[in-house]
Amino acid sequence: MGFSELVEVMKRLRQGCPWDRKQTRESLKPFLVEESYEVLEALEEEAPEKIKEELGDLLFQILFHAEIARERGEFDIGDVIEGISEKMRSRHPHVFGKGVELETAEEVVEQWEEKKKEEGKLRESILEGVPRAMPSLLRAHRLQDRAAKAGFDWDRVEDVLDKLDEELKEFRAALARKEQASIEDELGDIFFVLVNVSRFVGVNPEDALRRTISKFIHRFRHIEIRAEEEGRKLSEMTLEEMDALWDEAKAKE
Q: Can you spell out the DSSP letters for 48-85? A: HHHHHHHHHHHHHHHHHHHHHHHHTTS--HHHHHHHHH
pLDDT for residue 179? 95
pLDDT for residue 128? 87
- On whether the pTM is more than 0.75, the answer is no
The boundaries of the domain holding residue 64 are 3-89
Looking at the domain assignment, is residue 217 inside a domain?
Answer: yes
Exposed / middle / buried, residue 22 (Cβ in 10 Å: 0-12, 13-18, 19+): exposed
Binning pLDDT at 50, 70 and 90, where does residue 91 land? confident
DSSP class of 234 = G
Looking at the domain assignment, is residue 29 inside a domain?
Answer: yes
Q: How far apart are the C-alpha atoms of 182 and 172, rounded to whole Å?
A: 10
Q: Tell me, what CATH number does 148's domain have?
A: 1.10.287.1080
Looking at the domain assignment, is residue 70 inside a domain?
Answer: yes
pLDDT for residue 110? 80
List phi, psi (to 5°) of 46: 50, 45
The residue type at 66 = A
What pLDDT digit, counting tens, does each position of 96-126 carry?
887 788 888 888 888 887 777 777 666 778 8
pLDDT for residue 122? 61
Of 70-74, 87-91, 106-110, the poorest mean pLDDT is in 106-110
Query: Do 239 and 198 belong together in one domain?
Result: no
Of 73-77, 185-189, 191-195, 249-253, the poorest mean pLDDT is in 249-253
**Is the model's pLDDT at 79 over the cut of 80?**
yes
- 206-to-29, 142, 191 alpha-carbon distances in Å: 21, 11, 12
Q: How far apart are the C-alpha atoms of 181 and 215, rounded to whole Å?
A: 32
Average pLDDT score over residue span 212-235 = 95
Query: Do 154 and 221 belong together in one domain?
Result: no
Query: Do 171 and 189 belong together in one domain?
Result: yes
Of 20-29, 62-71, 98-107, the poorest mean pLDDT is in 98-107
Looking at the domain assignment, is residue 106 inside a domain?
Answer: no
pLDDT for residue 138? 92
Instruction: Please identify, among 164, 185, 203, the residue that sits at the C-terminal boundary of a domain.
Output: 203
Query: Do 81 and 155 belong together in one domain?
Result: no
Provide the domain count of the chain: 3
What value does the mean pLDDT of the chain take? 92
Give the orientation angle of helix 239-252 with respect to helix 205-229, to 10 degrees: 120
Binning pLDDT at 50, 70 and 90, where does residue 1 land? confident
pLDDT for residue 64? 98
The residue type at 101 = E
With CA atoms as reference, report the closest residue to 80 among 92, 65, 93.
65
Q: How far apart are the C-alpha atoms of 70 and 18, rounded to whole Å?
A: 19
